[in-house]
């Protein structure tokens, strides 16, 4: 899992090597190293206080690291913050308070701050208001925006100058499911165009929807090596429940699974639930079809955990999550 290109000076995306930063006696970031690749959405995952915001501030050239090196599309935020700010869009966890200003004014002003000429900044604002579906609220004070609308405004603000790298600090926190799906679509689209996305969260399931790669952090350090490719290819467990058939309900399910040809070492029973390890989604569809044809009244059939959670659990168990962990 070593990205040797991470050490090349012209490596694209985000390269973090041995970065540290403390506040007085608090070591917010002790030692973090990883490479977030262009064309991918990378999740920065860790509990509250893990150092995510501190790291992102350093990547955004808003806070100086005490040790280590950072490259954003090859640019160093310490020595060339202007190049970094050109290359990267930053969406903080709390949107600064321009609550009396309208989305249109905010987006135009940000464009002007990036050195875009007035007319072009206005045109860009119009374009982003459409993309963020904020046209109807474009001239209202931004404080009337809902949480989802504020997040869309925040993202539009980060995109004004067409950056190639997006840094987002907990953007999905407090979003309803529809807005989350929408955010995922936007980020995937940005990455598909060759952009680099680093998105933080303290919530595994939330990032599971969004990210393709993951960097797990805890107490200021990257845990389990550097960038992890999520364990999407490995076998996953499916959680199966059948209609209660009395005391023998689950053993009946166990029996039925054996009956339709599922190897016993792939099945694990916990209470009323059977967990079955299957290599591919097609196998899951096949097992479901066979169970139904065998007359088993299935009430639940779903992946037991999401990909990020699975990678994380694999880490905790000492497995290599990218290498066919079972
Ligand atoms: N400006 C600051 N002054 C003092 N301590 C800070 C400051 N910013 C962060 N910390 C501390 O650094 C640690 C990491 O915080 P942070 O980077 O905000 O973590 P996260 O974003 O993962 O929740 C925490 O213990 C936090 O209290
Ligand atoms: Mg934070």
Pocket lining: 53 vs ligand 1, CB cutoff 6 Å:
yes
- Structural domains present in the chain: 4-228 (3.40.50.300), 236-316 (3.30.70.260)
Cα 59 to ligand 1 centre (Å) = 15
Strands 165-168 and 196-201: parallel
Report the C-alpha gap between 193 and 206 in whole angstroms: 23
SS3 230: coil
Tokens of 33: 């190293």
Tokens of 114: 């990036």
Report the C-alpha gap between 254 and 291 in whole angstroms: 11
- Give the closest residue (by CA) to ligand 1 atom 1: 23
The residues placing their C-beta within 5 Å of ligand 2, an ion, are: 52-53
Output the tens digit of pLDDT for each of the chain's 326 residues: 444 444 444 579 999 999 999 999 999 999 999 999 999 999 999 888 999 999 999 999 999 999 999 999 999 999 999 999 999 999 988 766 678 899 999 999 999 999 999 999 999 999 999 998 999 999 999 999 988 888 889 999 999 999 999 999 998 887 877 788 888 888 989 999 999 999 999 887 777 778 888 899 989 999 875 556 665 555 678 889 888 655 555 567 888 888 888 888 888 888 788 889 888 878 888 999 999 888 888 889 888 776 666 666 666 555 444 443 33
Atom of ligand 1 nearest to the CA of 27: 12
Report the C-alpha gap between 55 and 45 in whole angstroms: 12
**Which residue among 29, 30, 45, 54 has the greatest number of ligand 1 atoms within 8 angstroms of its CB, and so is best to mutate?**
54
- Give the closest residue (by CA) to ligand 1 atom 3: 23
């Amino acid at each position: 899992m070593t990205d040797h290109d991470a050490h090349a000076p012209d490596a694209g995306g985000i390269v973090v090597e041995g970065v540290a930063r403390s506040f007085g006696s608090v070591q917010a970031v002790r030692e973090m190293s990883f490479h977030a690749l262009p064309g991918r959405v990378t999740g920065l995952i860790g509990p509250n206080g893990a150092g995510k915001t501190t790291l992102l501030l350093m990547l955004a050239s808003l806070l100086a690291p005490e040790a280590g090196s950072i490259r954003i599309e090859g640019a160093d935020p310490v020595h060339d913050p202007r190049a970094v700010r050109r290359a990267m869009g930053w969406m903080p966890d709390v949107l600064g308070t321009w609550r009396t200003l309208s989305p249109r004014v905010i987006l135009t002003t940000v464009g002007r701050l990036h050195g875009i000429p007035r007319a072009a900044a206005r045109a860009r604002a119009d374009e982003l208001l459409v993309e963020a579906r904020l046209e109807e609220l474009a001239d209202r004070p931004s404080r009337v925006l809902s949480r989802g609308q504020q997040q869309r405004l925040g993202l539009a603000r980060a995109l004004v100058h067409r950056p190639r790298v997006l840094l987002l600090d907990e953007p999905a926190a407090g979003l309803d499911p529809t807005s989350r799906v929408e955010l995922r679509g936007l980020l995937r689209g940005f990455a598909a165009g060759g952009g680099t996305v680093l998105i933080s969260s303290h919530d595994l399931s939330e990032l599971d929807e969004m990210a393709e790669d993951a960097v797990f952090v805890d107490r200021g350090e990257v845990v389990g090596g550097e960038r992890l490719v999520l364990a999407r290819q490995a076998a996953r467990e499916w959680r199966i429940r059948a209609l209660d058939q009395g005391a023998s309900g689950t053993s009946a399910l166990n029996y039925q699974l054996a009956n339709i040809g599922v190897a016993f070492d792939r099945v694990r029973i916990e209470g009323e639930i059977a967990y079955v390890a299957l290599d591919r989604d097609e196998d899951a569809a096949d097992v479901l079809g066979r169970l139904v044809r065998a007359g088993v009244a299935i009430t639940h059939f779903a992946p037991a955990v999401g990909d990020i959670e699975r990678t994380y659990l694999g880490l905790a168990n000492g497995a290599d999550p990218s290498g066919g962990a079972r």
